Amino acid sequence: MNKIIYLDAAASALKPESVINTEMEFLRESYANSGRGICPRAAAVDNMVMRARESVASFINAKPEQIVFTSGSTDGLNRIVNIITGQPWYNGGRFAVSDLDHHSARLPWEALLHRGKISKMSVCDLDENFDVKIDSVPQCDFLVITAMSNVLGRAQDVAGIIAAARNKNPDVITIVDAAQYVVHNKIDVEKWDCDFLVFSGHKIGADTGIGILYIRDSQKYFPDKFGGGMVMSVRESGLDLESAPEKWEAGTLPLTQIAGLVPAIKYLEQNRPNLDLIKYMYDELLNNPRIKILTKRDSALLSFVVDGMHILDVGTYLGAYGICVRVGNCCASWIHKKMGVPGCARASVGAWNTMDDARAFVNAINKIVK
């Protein structure tokens, strides 16, 4: 059996020991619920949640009350739509997307469009590098921005896109999907001037079941979820909400996963993926005439198709050599359509990968694709 070489960081990151140990210690030594008790254990868990929130806030230059724990990017992106459409002022409007979007970012809006709850959808143009053309950003009320496509791995000029949208409509609500971007680049929500932003814990080395939703005006909106922990009092004719962030977090939080966030962020900040491995794989695959590379040399990942070979076969053959890559449409149908391919094979690296892994990938590809 070949050694397993995991080149699928963009789907989900392997976990640093510090994350595993922190979660195990939390479960073994200090588990209790948060936001519900005053006993020493409950207070310690409240403290842990507070520290995690502060750590996430400083990671993206936000304030702790702007950080909401969700179950992941998909949850956050769907919640944003529910938050916006649940406001008393919501009355439809125009929304804009791009073909870089992941299904999770765009489908919740498209679903609204199909139900007649939104008046117009525009798609921003892409330039010859498949980057969002800033001058094509339309006048709109809601704008979805994929900070880095999970197929092309190129950082977008988020600040420039938002500035262009605000130029045309100062009240535009901007939503950033940073699920891939956050792994490779520092985020500054203040500089970007965005209204909402999401990312998933599992892609930055934390656990599954935890995500971050940044809400700039977190006190302003009426919440989308109701339950324990988010109201101060219930009156005969209404309710008094807790202030943010508590008002956004009805029900018991994913505490173990939250415990893993602090070590995950610390580890990621000190160990960003080594993109020289991507450059090496790119240079090697470039020599193979049957391979068409879809990404650039300096992208954060490598996507490609093979002439005369079904993409699922590429994944299966690589798997037989112990190499794990993602194959298929990567939940990003629109960009594949734009590029004229039904799907691709995608290799992506994390801090655990070495040049030997990259060489093993290239050797396997050269055996499979002659």
Ligand X SMILES: Cc1ncc(COP(=O)(O)O)c(C=O)c1O
Catalytic positions, please? Answer: 331
Cβ atoms of 171 and 90 closer than 8 Å: no
177 binds ligand X (CB under 6 A): yes
Among 118, 137, 179, 230, binds ligand X (CB under 6 A): 179
By CB under 6 A, what part of segment 77-116 binds ligand X?
A: 102, 104-105
Nearer to ligand X, 66 or 98 (CB): 98
- Least distance to ligand X, CB of residue 237, Å: 38
Give the amino acid at 225.
K
**Which of these ranges, 29-37, 174-182, 234-242, 249-257, lies near ligand X under the rule CB under 6 A?**
174-182
Mapped to the 3 state alphabet, what secondary structure does the chain carry? Answer: CCCCEECECCCCCCCCHHHHHHHHHHHHHHCCCCCCCCCHHHHHHHHHHHHHHHHHHHHCCCCHHHEEEECCHHHHHHHHHHHHHCCCCCCCCEEEEECCCCHHHHHHHHHHHHCCCCCEEEEECECCCCCECHHHCCCCCEEEEECECCCCCCECCHHHHHHHHHHHCCCCEEEEECCCHHHHCCCCHHHHCCCEEEEEHHHHCCCCCCEEEEECCCCCCCCCCCCCCCEEEEECCEEEECCCCHHHCCCCCCHHHHHCHHHHHHHHHHCCCCCHHHHHHHHHHHCCCCEEECCCCCCCCEEEEECCCCHHHHHHHHHHCCEECEEECCCCHHHHHHHCCCCEEEEECCCCCCHHHHHHHHHHHHHHCC
74 binds ligand X (CB under 6 A): yes
Cβ atoms of 298 and 275 closer than 8 Å: yes
Distance from C-alpha of 75 to C-alpha of 104, rounded to nearest angstrom: 8
Nearer to ligand X, 34 or 73 (CB): 73
- Least distance to ligand X, CB of residue 286, Å: 25
70 binds ligand X (CB under 6 A): no
Nearer to ligand X, 45 or 106 (CB): 106
Nearer to ligand X, 105 or 368 (CB): 105
- Least distance to ligand X, CB of residue 151, Å: 9
Nearer to ligand X, 45 or 215 (CB): 215
- Least distance to ligand X, CB of residue 303, Å: 12
- Least distance to ligand X, CB of residue 211, Å: 6
- Least distance to ligand X, CB of residue 179, Å: 4
66 binds ligand X (CB under 6 A): no
Nearer to ligand X, 211 or 368 (CB): 211
Per-residue contact flags (x/-) with ligand X for residues 117 to 146, judged by CB under 6 A:
-----------------------------x
Nearer to ligand X, 202 or 368 (CB): 202
- Report in angstroms the alpha-carbon separations of 64 from 53, 269, 358: 6, 19, 39
Among 34, 180, 348, 353, binds ligand X (CB under 6 A): 180
Among 9, 15, 69, 72, binds ligand X (CB under 6 A): 72
Give the amino acid at 159.
A
Among 34, 66, 85, 150, binds ligand X (CB under 6 A): 150
Number of residues that bind ligand X (CB under 6 A): 13
Distance from C-alpha of 196 to C-alpha of 216, rounded to nearest angstrom: 6
299 binds ligand X (CB under 6 A): no
Report the interface residues with ligand X, using CB under 6 A. Answer: 72-74, 102, 104-105, 146, 150, 177, 179-180, 200, 202
